[in-house]
Every structure is written in C-alpha cells, then in structure tokens.
Amino acid sequence: MYKVFVNDKPLFLTNEILKETDFQMFLLESIDIEQLIVKMFQNKISKAYLYYPDEKEMLKKLKEKIPVQKAGGGLVYNKNGEVLFIFRNGKWDLPKGGIEKGEEIEYTALREVEEETGVNKLLISKKLEKTYHVFRRNGKYKLKITHWFEMTSDFDGIPIGQAEEGIEKVAWLNPEQIQEALKNSYENIKLLFETEKSRL
C-alpha cells in the first residue's frame, strides 16, 4: 500500500477491496485523477482509496496518469542528536528539493540540504523511505516523489535559510522540540518521523 498526500489528505493506493464506509474507493484503472485531486483540494473528499489489483504495478499506473517530479531531502542529525528543520509557508519542514538533469538522487539531497540551510559537512548514513504528495504549480498537478536520506553533520556554524526559497528560519531541534514542531508540519514529515521514532 502507498500513501499519497493531496493537500495533507491521504490517498491510499491499495490492492485490497476494503469493506469500510468512511472513505470513497475508486478504480485506479479508470479514475480521472485530476478530478479526484481537485475534489480533495476543495475539501469535498477527505480520504480516498485507489484500487489496483497488482501491487507491483500500481505506482507505475499512477505515474502514467500524473506528471512526476523527483526530489531529494535530508533528515540531518548533528553531534548533539538534534535534527535540522526549516520553517516556510507557516510550517516546519525538512530541507529538500527537485532533482536536476543528470544528478544522482543522493547528490540532489545533499545539495538541497546545503543550499536551503547553509549546513555542510554532510554525510549520508542511510536511505529512508520515500514520501509521495501531489502539489499544484502553474495550474498543473504533479506527483512529487521525495527520496529521503538520514544524514549526519559536524557543521558548527549558524544555519541560514535560503531566502529565495522562502525559508524564514532554520533550526536544530531536540526530540522535545521536534514533537512540538510536528504539530505544525506536513503529514509526510510526520510519517517519516513515525518510522524514525526508534532513533529519537
């Protein structure tokens, strides 16, 4: 099962027919994906399931229906065990950004973290899971697939947010502050920390 967020509302890709009634279920094969996304953006649908029988093929099927943008991002720890957060558009987020032509996704993640926060001396320690969300740019909907990497850094300067990316603040947050920040964050970021809880 995949969880795609549309305006922070979950759209589940599943290969099981579920008998519950608090959500709507659609066939991925025949759905007008843009119509469904518009309804989710307009708050007419708060949760939906897209059914496709073959789990291995369902993401490929979705990608045929909506343009995809690949991004890379970092969950960065410093030597005090704090995590690097950015604040933009009124929410706490993790540094990430789109892949450039010919780039390896690991390089994208490292480059974007450094560009958005000024933090360098980054080392990737492991690959985390991918997150999926739909966004709108220039009137078109796109599926953003973000590849996340856990990183460490010995950077000891003051992080500075990339102004042209609308980043108002950059901060190292301790586990307690992270719990507070997650109350005002995106569902994808919360999902990432749910799977990372063992570390915090």
Q: Are 4 and 58 in contact (CB under 8 A)?
A: no
**Biggest CA-to-CA distance, the chain:** 54
What is the number of domains present in the chain? 2
Which of 44, 65, 86 is a domain's end point?
65
- CA 150, CA 78: separation in Å to the nearest integer? 11
Report the amino acid identity of residue 56: K
Which of 43, 65, 87 is a domain's end point?
65
Q: Are residues 61 and 72 in the same domain?
A: no
- CA 100, CA 97: separation in Å to the nearest integer? 9
Question: pLDDT means per 10 residues in the chain (200 residues)?
Answer: 93 86 87 95 93 95 96 97 97 97 97 98 96 93 97 96 96 97 96 72
Q: What is the CATH number of the domain that holds 187?
A: 3.90.79.10
Place of tokens 């490929």: 60
Q: Are residues 46 and 90 in the same domain?
A: no
- Domain limits at 101? 68-196
Q: Which pLDDT score is estimated for 200?
A: 47
Q: Are residues 104 and 161 in the same domain?
A: yes
Q: Which pLDDT score is estimated for 23?
A: 80
The residues, ordered by sequence, that sit 6+ positions from 120 with a Cβ below 8 Å of its Cβ are 114, 153, 155
Q: Are residues 109 and 156 in the same domain?
A: yes
Q: Are residues 73 and 108 in the same domain?
A: yes
Q: Are residues 103 and 185 in the same domain?
A: yes
Q: Which pLDDT score is estimated for 17?
A: 84
Q: Which pLDDT score is estimated for 20?
A: 67
Q: Which pLDDT score is estimated for 21?
A: 66
Q: Are 118 and 170 in contact (CB under 8 A)?
A: yes
- DSSP conformation class of 163: G
